[in-house]
Amino acid sequence: MSGLTNKRIVLGVSGSIAAYKAPDIVRRLQDLGADVRVIVTDGGREFVSERSLQTISKNKVHNNLWDKEAELSMGHIEIAKWADVVIIAPASANTIAKLCHGRADDLLSTVILATEAKIMIAPAMNQQMFAASAMKDNLGLLKARGIDIINPGFGDQACGDVGEGRLAEPIDIASQAAELFTSSLLSGKKVLITLGGTREAIDPVRFISNHSSGKMGMALAHACIQAGAKTTLIVGSISIELEKRAEIIQVISAEEMYQAVMKQIDNQDLFISCAAVADFRPKKVSKNKIKKDNQSMTIELIRNRDILASVCQLKKKPICIGFAAETENHIINANNKLIKKQCDAIILNDISQTEIGLNADENEVHLITKNRTEKIEKNTKQIVAEKIIDKLVNNFFNPS
Ligand code: CTP
């Protein structure tokens, strides 16, 4: 397993304007498979509501060291023992100073003292405060004690200043936490993944495309990176953030995607064709915007090249994995695709169910190879992706 699957993370939210980003940090951690509990300090509560944190984390938010009821349900020592990682994001200047002194005057600082878990802090404050020598010394001290510092970014600040001190992006905070658990399942391997939908131009403003969000492909990218692979993504149209740890090549049309794949395919060990590639494109792309002069119009479409099938025809080809998005006769259609495209495995998606597959946050798939069909039960796309990678490694790189 990789990512943050089944990892228990305590997110400490302290008093900084950047606390408004805390619900997004919870989301990003959950996207990677983590179970998240939030402790918010009194300062943090000034900037983000407990209700949003509770709704998103799906767990009670902890705040008060002296709340008898809260202590009965999960006391501070229990929280400290429960955590695999404690992340303080945002970490205010005051919270950082308290950590240095080992103070225990609120729930968060007490949990920090009481935990054996790895601690990460993401400072967020005014650039002048961040540049202060006391802050530099404090961060140096925490680093020397083995606490990971997630460096803040440079840019415009809420106070109007420009400089270093902005909270790191939520996706980067989650990725750095996931790096703590990186496996070596795919270490030394190169993986190429296509994802997202392609757009086939009709005229300068219109195109034909599909509902692909790129979520499954990006989840596979996270899983491959966590497993130690050098990962390259050929990305069509998506509605999610890019994975910064991968090499990214952005394309628009199926033909561009084909060209980009062929340019990158040499020396790849694994090719995962997750993109929803348009099978057809308009035969003629109008140079000017088409006017609605007539009551009806016809667009003639011609076939696009099949990227996956083309890669499978290469003499020196990587292990090739395709996706089959099916609405009926699922297993039969997917097996036919496996044979027709001559790939090593097909991942079958039932797209007739709205809560899984295209655009959804969850998925349930079958991994089909020549010899067997294995079901991967419904779960978040990240967890499904990690299971797919585990199975691919077992089938093709580590057969027993
Ligand atoms: N694919 C591809 N190039 C295309 C079309 C599809 O590489 N021009 C890949 C997809 O990325 C996916 C697999 O082929 O991995 C299956 O795509 P799918 O659309 O489900 O099947 P098709 O081959 O297009 O067949 P049909 O639309 O008839 O189901």
By three-state DSSP, how is residue 177 classified? helix
Q: Given this model, what pLDDT does residue 294 score? A: 87
d(CA 259, CA 309): 14
Query: Would residue 159 show up in a list of annotated catalytic residues for this protein?
Result: yes
Q: What b-and-e string marks burial along 233-266, b requiring 16 or more CB atoms within 10 Å of the CB?
A: bbbbbbeeeebebbeebebebbbbbbbbbeebbe
Q: Given this model, what pLDDT does residue 307 score? A: 98
Domain boundaries, the chain: 8-181, 190-397
Residue with tokens 């929280």: 79
Number of the ligand 1 atom closest to the C-alpha atom of 324: 20
Number of the ligand 1 atom closest to the C-alpha atom of 309: 7
Where do the H-state alpha helices sit in the chain?
22-31, 42-45, 50-57, 68-73, 76-82, 93-101, 107-114, 127-131, 133-144, 170-179, 215-226, 254-264, 307-313, 330-341, 381-392
Write out the chain's pLDDT in tens, 400 residues: 447 887 999 999 999 999 999 999 999 999 888 999 999 999 999 999 999 999 999 999 999 887 777 777 678 889 999 999 999 999 999 999 999 999 999 999 999 999 999 999 999 999 999 999 999 999 999 999 999 999 999 998 888 899 999 999 999 999 999 989 888 899 999 999 999 999 999 999 999 999 999 999 999 999 999 899 999 999 999 999 898 889 999 999 999 999 999 999 999 999 999 999 999 999 999 999 999 988 999 999 999 999 999 999 999 999 999 999 898 999 999 999 999 999 999 999 988 877 776 778 888 999 999 999 999 999 888 889 999 999 999 999 986 6
Tell me the β-bridge partners of 28: none
> Would you say 290 and 206 are in contact if contact means Cβ atoms under 8 Å apart?
yes
Residue with the nearest Cα to atom 17 of ligand 1? Answer: 324
**How, if at all, do strands 118-123 and 85-91 pair?**
parallel
d(CA 122, CA 221): 24
Tell me the β-bridge partners of 248: 233
- Provide the 8-state DSSP code for 289: P
What separation in Å is there between the alpha carbon of 242 and the centre of ligand 1? 23
> Would you say 103 and 68 are in contact if contact means Cβ atoms under 8 Å apart?
no
Q: Given this model, what pLDDT does residue 400 score? A: 64
d(CA 224, CA 149): 25
The one catalytic residue in 100, 159, 274, 343 is 159
Q: Which of 200, 313, 323 to mutate to test the pocket of ligand 1 (most atoms within 8 A of CB)?
A: 323
User: Do 8-181 and 190-397 come out as alike in CATH topology?
Assistant: yes
What separation in Å is there between the alpha carbon of 373 and the centre of ligand 1? 19
Please give the structure tokens belonging to residue 332: 């039969």
Residue with the nearest Cα to atom 23 of ligand 1? Answer: 337
Number of the ligand 1 atom closest to the C-alpha atom of 340: 23
Q: What is the largest CA-CA distance in the chain?
A: 77
Q: At what angle do helices 93-101 and 133-144 cross, to 10 degrees?
A: 50
Please report, in angstroms and rounded to a whole number, the separation of the first and last CA atoms in the chain.
18
What separation in Å is there between the alpha carbon of 364 and the centre of ligand 1? 19
pTM, two decimal places: 0.77
d(CA 357, CA 383): 14
What separation in Å is there between the alpha carbon of 348 and the centre of ligand 1? 12
Which one, of 32, 24, 23, 361, lies nearest residue 213 by Cα? 361
Q: Which of 307, 333, 365 to mutate to test the pocket of ligand 1 (most atoms within 8 A of CB)?
A: 307
Q: Given this model, what pLDDT does residue 231 score? A: 97
Number of the ligand 1 atom closest to the C-alpha atom of 311: 7
Tell me the β-bridge partners of 367: 347, 374
CATH architecture of 190-397: 3-Layer(aba) Sandwich (3.40)
CB-hemisphere CA count at 13 Å for 381? Answer: 23
What separation in Å is there between the alpha carbon of 2 and the centre of ligand 1? 28
What separation in Å is there between the alpha carbon of 276 and the centre of ligand 1? 7
Pocket of ligand 1 (CB under 6 A): 254, 273, 275, 277, 279, 304, 306-308, 322-325, 337
Which one, of 94, 80, 113, 78, lies nearest residue 44 by Cα? 94
Q: Given this model, what pLDDT does residue 382 score? A: 86
Fold of 8-181: Rossmann fold (3.40.50)
